[in-house]
Amino acid sequence: MHYIIPKEDLRINETAFRFQGEEYGGVAGSFFWVFTHPGRGSTLHRHPYQEIFVLQEGRAIFTIGETMLEVAAGNVVVAPANTPHKFTNTGTEPLQMISFHPSSRVLQEVLE
């Protein structure tokens, strides 16, 4: 089966969109498509699988375990499975990125 899904159908709040594969024929992957305002980001969390971030526009600081990384658009960041992680937009413009989850459903434990 083929799907064309309008971005607006994936909206979960003012700055984020979520695709969960299980809702579209059991696709074996999910993702968040985010547009995060300067100074904002995610809370500390972890997943039972790796999370892959593709930075399309902007800058962010990622905390992955005990490591802090400053990352600009055009880079990919991988957070290992079961490792606490978060990000914060450190730029002056919205941070645009996609975070891939190799699961048909986003499985997330919030830690803060």
pLDDT tens across the length of the chain (112 residues):
678 999 999 999 999 999 999 999 999 999 999 999 999 999 999 999 999 999 999 999 999 999 999 999 999 999 999 999 999 999 999 999 999 999 999 999 999 8
25 burial (CB, 10 Å; 0-12 / 13-18 / 19+) is: exposed
Q: Which two tokens stand for residue 25?
A: 């024929």
Residue 101 lies in a domain: yes
CB of 100 within 8 A of CB of 52? yes
Domain that holds residue 72: 7-110
Amino acid at the residue 28: A
CA dist 71 and 75 (Å) reads: 7
Which pLDDT score is estimated for 1? 60
Taking alpha carbons only, the member of 59, 62, 89 closest to residue 74 is 59
The CATH number of the domain holding residue 87 is 2.60.120.10
Residue 2 lies in a domain: no
CA dist 104 and 19 (Å) reads: 9
Residue 1 lies in a domain: no
Q: How many domains does the chain divide into? A: 1
